[in-house]
Amino acid sequence: MIEQTLEVDDKLAEFEARIARGEKIEPGDWMPDEYRRQLIRMISQHAHSEVVGMLPEGAWIPHAPSLRRKMVLMAKVQDEAGHGQYLYHAAETLGATREELLDALHTGKAKYASIFNYPTLTWADVAWIGWLVDGAAIKNQTMLAQASYGPYSRAMVRICAEETFHYKQGKEMIVHYASSGTPEQKAMVQDGLNRWWPPTLMMFGPHDSESTNSEILMRWGIKTKSNDELRQEFINEEVPEIQALGLEIPDPDLHFDEDSGSWIIGPIDWDEFWQVVRGNGPMNAERLAARQEAHENGRWVREAMAALYYKFVTDNYSKVSKAIGLSPERN
Amino acid sequence: MNQAIQQILTQKLLALADDELILAHRNSEWIGHAPILEEDIALANIAQDELGHANLWFELHQTLTGDDPDELAFFREAAQFRNVQFVELPRGDWAFTMLRQYLFDAYELLLLDQLQYGRYQPLAQACAKVRNEEIYHLRHTSSWIKRLGLGTEESNRRTQAALDELWPYAQQLFVPLPGESILVDEKIVPNLGRLHESWLERVRPFLTAAHLTIPSNQTPPTNNRSNHTHHLTTLLADMQKVARLNREAVW
């Protein structure tokens, strides 16, 4: 009785206390509308990123230069589809439907990771996506595996495990091409680094001082580290490994700071970042068009699936009714 | 194994490998573009299985000839490929892809069923290992053909159009190589004529039950695996372009 009359403030206090105790919030639990809204936004953006992320790498499956690389790349892009699938399911636990989420993607309302609006120009780009893009994603996702919302957190644990594999595959290729490759392979690798390094650093999002959603996300235990903290961790981990291969990171200001023990980067081109976020990146139009086209081309297929399902339900009306506990009224 | 048998066996293995490689390539073109996300996953899986089979046949071929599988896949010209035209045709729409895969799966399951009891042990063992994958493929593609055939007017029309186009090409799978009868006599491979009958017994009633009409034309456009459509040239240009940047490079 008392519980039913609890004011929203009390519910909020209890909700925040649960998060403070490190408990997970589960689908049926009370949660503030804003928590639900933020999660649907983040999880669906993340799902869309996986789905759009299939495109730049998928484009290289037909060109993979050995039977083994072809197999590995197919498996990798398949994993991205799988991640999209469980993230859409995680968003569904919050009341969103896949149809409305896809609709938001296709109409350009929903965002996805801007990094996928850059083109993959050579085979080495596939390797750099593995090392840098998946590496940066892992930083973010390892944090999100601690997130307060149970289904999101559990999806992240699984996704991180697979992404770690992708990261190793990408790195293995770069190490091979940079250390024992032909001059063409070495040039391809350096060219890829020149293009992928700057946008990878943008993947962590705006500086903390500019990040509008960060405060509430940290308060509710969805994010546990800031954009700048994650970015710096990534830089500190990857810079020495890349330099050890004799590759040059495209940043004249990059230097090691003895006092903080950190690698300090030069300024990030935030104008470019916002341009791409606003839809003006090199591949925004093409990526969206490819997704819209796949969806449109698949419409008649989905209609056929629905038609047959409907036929099955009507043909088996009494069986279905019985199974779901209704008395069959049709004669 | 005498030289005549070995020679025809290597040709047979190459034909098997090329069929699977080219089909896997075609299916993989869908990854990222399938009608539903679940099918990006499923078709990627089927493509990987077929590519895995290609690898197996290439490796068996290698044990007899010493030819490197990557060398064969990436440095032969179209005229040197021994796949049937059936697998090289562009992927078309979803009905075309699913129907081709269904017809191929039905063939491959029957083939592997027989090959696993063949007298050439390395081949028999490899077949026994991968045979079960085909059961899953066939289950998956059969359910799609049922959905598409019985679904809507449009899906039926598209699937029928795919069947009309693919049916003569599908018969190419049952054309033996010149000299293949030696392998049949040695009980290394099954008789393709008999395999064809079993295949027809299986697919005809199934397709009919899916409200599809079996085309009357059953004559394959060519019986020769050295003849290819221009589609194979285009496919290979895509497939081989990175590998051919530098012949010395290891990828």
ipTM of the complex: 0.97
Residues of A in contact with B241 (CB under 8 A): 63
pLDDT tens sequence across A233-279? 999 999 999 999 999 999 999 999 999 999 999 999 999 999 999 99
Residues of A in contact with B140 (CB under 8 A): none
Residues of B in contact with A66 (CB under 8 A): 70, 73-74, 243, 251
Length of chain B (residues): 251
Alpha-carbon distance values, A266 to A115, A140, A251, A253, A274 (Å): 19, 22, 6, 5, 18
In the predicted structure, residue A326 carries a pLDDT above the cut 70:
no
Residue B250 lies in a domain: no
Matching residue, tokens 């060109």: A63
pLDDT tens sequence across A121-151? 999 999 999 999 999 999 999 999 999 999 9
Hey, what amino acid is at A278? R
Dist CA B209 CA B119 (whole Å):
37
Q: Inter-chain contact B41–A85, Cβ cutoff 8 Å?
A: yes
- Confidence bin at A2 (pLDDT 50/70/90): low
Domain count, chain B: 1
- Asked whether A130 and A169 are in contact (CB, 8 A), the reply is yes
Work out the number of other CB atoms within 10 angstroms of the CB of residue A112. 22
Residue B208 lies in a domain: yes
pLDDT at A218: 87
What the block records as the tokens of A12 is 């909020």
What the block records as the tokens of B209 is 């039950």
- Confidence bin at A6 (pLDDT 50/70/90): low
SS3 B49: helix
A interface test, pick of B242, B246, B247, B248 with most A CB neighbours within 10 Å:
B242
Kindly identify which residue of chain A lies nearest to residue B48, measuring between CA atoms: A71
Alpha-carbon distance values, A20 to A23, A38, A112, A213 (Å): 7, 18, 30, 19
Residue B251 lies in a domain: no
pLDDT tens sequence across B229-244? 999 999 999 999 999 9
A interface test, pick of B33, B55, B142, B212 with most A CB neighbours within 10 Å:
B33
pLDDT tens sequence across B176-189? 999 999 999 999 99
In the predicted structure, residue A330 carries a pLDDT above the cut 60:
no
Rounded to an integer, the average pLDDT of B76-101 is 98
pLDDT at A329: 52
pLDDT at A128: 98
Of B29, B34, B151, the CB nearest to A305: B151
Angle separating helix axes A183-202 and A134-144, nearest 10 degrees: 40
Q: Which residues contact A40 (CB under 8 A, 6 or more apart)?
A: A91, A94, A95, A96
pLDDT at B172: 98
- Confidence bin at A328 (pLDDT 50/70/90): low
pLDDT at B201: 98
pLDDT tens sequence across A196-207? 999 999 999 999
In the predicted structure, residue A213 carries a pLDDT above the cut 90:
no
pTM for this model (two decimals): 0.94
Dist CA A179 CA A190 (whole Å):
12
Matching residue, tokens 């598409």: B148
Residue B174 lies in a domain: yes
Rounded to an integer, the average pLDDT of A293-320 is 88
- Residue B50: give its domain's CATH number: 1.20.1260.10
Q: Which residues contact A192 (CB under 8 A, 6 or more apart)?
A: A121, A122, A124, A125, A127, A128
Dist CA B14 CA A328 (whole Å):
59
Residues of A in contact with B151 (CB under 8 A): 303-305, 307-308
Residues of A in contact with B73 (CB under 8 A): 66-67
pLDDT at A153: 96
Domain that holds residue B140: 3-245
What the block records as the tokens of A45 is 């953006």
- Asked whether A250 and A193 are in contact (CB, 8 A), the reply is yes
Q: Inter-chain contact B31–A54, Cβ cutoff 8 Å?
A: yes
Report the mean per-residue pLDDT for chain B: 97
In the predicted structure, residue A5 carries a pLDDT above the cut 60:
no
